Amino acid sequence: MPKISVVVPVYNVENYIERCVRTLFEQTMNDDVEYVFVNDGSTDNSINILSKLIEEYSSLKKQIQIIHHPCNMSLGSARKTGILAAHGDYIFNYDSGDWIDKDFLKIMYSKAIATNADVVWCDYYMGKKDGNYALRNTYCNQNKKDTLNAIIGYTCKQGLYVWNKLIRRSLFCNEKFVFSDNINLTEDHVMTFQCFLYANITAHVDKALYYYYFRNEALSKLDDYDMLPQQCKDVINVNDIIFDIIATANIYDADCKNAVNVRKLYTKRLILSRCHTTKCQWYNLYPELKIDFFKKPFQIRTKLGLWGVQHKMPWMFDVYLWSQKIKEKYSIRRLLIR
């Protein structure tokens, strides 16, 4: 049985997959590693590039499998396919547009063995629009309850993503584990939440080993592009799955309720500010949400905008969006003048 299974969903990443695969195949730990690539209906040259790289690294051929979806089924479905086909003690979910430090697998696995951890996470570099990278320190000394509430409330320092984590495969075999099928956007929030929910021991590697590459078409940069109606539904569906898991796990208390409300609030703000084409249909999202926005750490225009939505005066949120655009335009102009 391999020590690690690396699951790599592949969908139309011909411009990035070579770097992704080379940094994977050139790891300092490649014995007892299984590589599971899931072709999620790619229509570009991604799989041809992958096949050529497999030939180039022919010594690893017996450790590699490529699974083909008949069509594009979603990132969530591709991860599920790869995980269910994996045999390793631990699973690393690797996004095909990114790359990793040459010692990623070795360091993460050594930490897992030394601490008997179910989940190991590391620091990472987050790509920015200008092509530079920002270091993200993810150390967080929280108890399990606070960690779960942080994941629910979008304040999890460990990262809501799965790609900076090594996860014991047995967690995914829990009969209660729910996969976020047919979801592309924020689908890994469901997986991350459950992994920390079912983990007995977690551990942190105090080193940045993962490089998240900023792509205009990437699905994880929520605040950087206009959302399509289906993407709005994805975010809401992810929330519904997480809320169902909370109910099943019987962890709903006052702190959890507050975290749930924060998630609903963030989701509503996100959709109203990013889904311009069908914005009006989302004004009544989460009508049960009753929050005193003026006690929240928002700028005054944000507070007024959200208060207006809650009190059925959406034009106030339109004013907020207008002021935001003016601010962004002024900031860009000021930088150009400098």
Amino acid residing at 254 = A
The residues pairing with 6 across neighbouring beta strands, listed in sequence order, are 35, 92
Q: What sign for the dihedral angle of Cα 153, 157, 160, 166?
A: negative
So what's the pLDDT on residue 21? 98
Bridging pattern class, strands 202-212 and 4-10: unpaired
So what's the pLDDT on residue 317? 66
**Which segment, 39-48, 181-190, 266-275, 288-297, is predicted with the most confidence on average?**
39-48
So what's the pLDDT on residue 252? 96
Average confidence (pLDDT) over 69-83: 97
Q: What sign for the dihedral angle of Cα 290, 296, 300, 305?
A: negative
Closest CA to 90 of 174, 187, 24, 172: 172
So what's the pLDDT on residue 335? 35
Write out the two tokens for 11. Answer: 């969908």
Residue 269 to residues 47, 134, 298, 314, 335, Cα–Cα distance (Å):
38, 25, 12, 12, 27
So what's the pLDDT on residue 312? 64
pLDDT class for 338, splitting at 50, 70, 90?
very low
265 against 43, higher pLDDT: 43
Check pLDDT > 80 for residue 208.
Answer: yes
Closest CA to 194 of 250, 254, 249: 249
Check pLDDT > 60 for residue 92.
Answer: yes
SS3 158: coil
Q: Check: pTM over 0.85? Answer yes or no.
A: yes
Residue 145 to residues 53, 142, 151, 152, 253, Cα–Cα distance (Å):
44, 8, 10, 11, 10
CA separation for the pair 194, 242 (Å, rounded): 9
- Mean of per-residue pLDDT scores for the chain: 87
So what's the pLDDT on residue 187? 93
DSSP state of 61: G
Average confidence (pLDDT) over 8-18: 97
Dump pLDDT digits (tens) for 264-322: 988 888 888 777 667 677 878 888 877 666 666 667 766 777 777 666 666 666 676 67
SS3 227: coil
The residues pairing with 100 across neighbouring beta strands, listed in sequence order, are 210
Dump pLDDT digits (tens) for 217-267: 554 444 445 678 889 999 999 999 999 999 999 999 999 998 998 899 888
Crossing angle of the two packed helices 229-249 and 187-198, in degrees rounded to 10: 20
Check pLDDT > 90 for residue 327.
Answer: no
- Among 5-19, 54-68, 206-220, whose mean pLDDT is lowest? 206-220
Q: How many CB atoms lie within 10 A of CB 263?
A: 23
Indicate the Cα dihedral angle 326, 328, 334, 337, nearest 10°. Answer: -100
CA separation for the pair 203, 17 (Å, rounded): 29
Half-sphere exposure of 295 (CA within 13 A, CB side): 4
Write out the two tokens for 46. Answer: 């991604």
Q: What percent of the chain has pLDDT over 90?
A: 64
CA separation for the pair 132, 214 (Å, rounded): 9
Q: How do the domains of the chain map onto residue ranges?
A: 4-212, 223-337
CA separation for the pair 186, 218 (Å, rounded): 11
Angle in degrees, CA 247, 161, 183, rounded to 5: 65
Q: In CATH, which of 3.40.50.620, 3.30.565.10, 3.90.550.10, 3.40.718.10 is domain 4-212?
A: 3.90.550.10
So what's the pLDDT on residue 157? 85
Contacts of 253 (CB under 8 A, 6+ apart): none
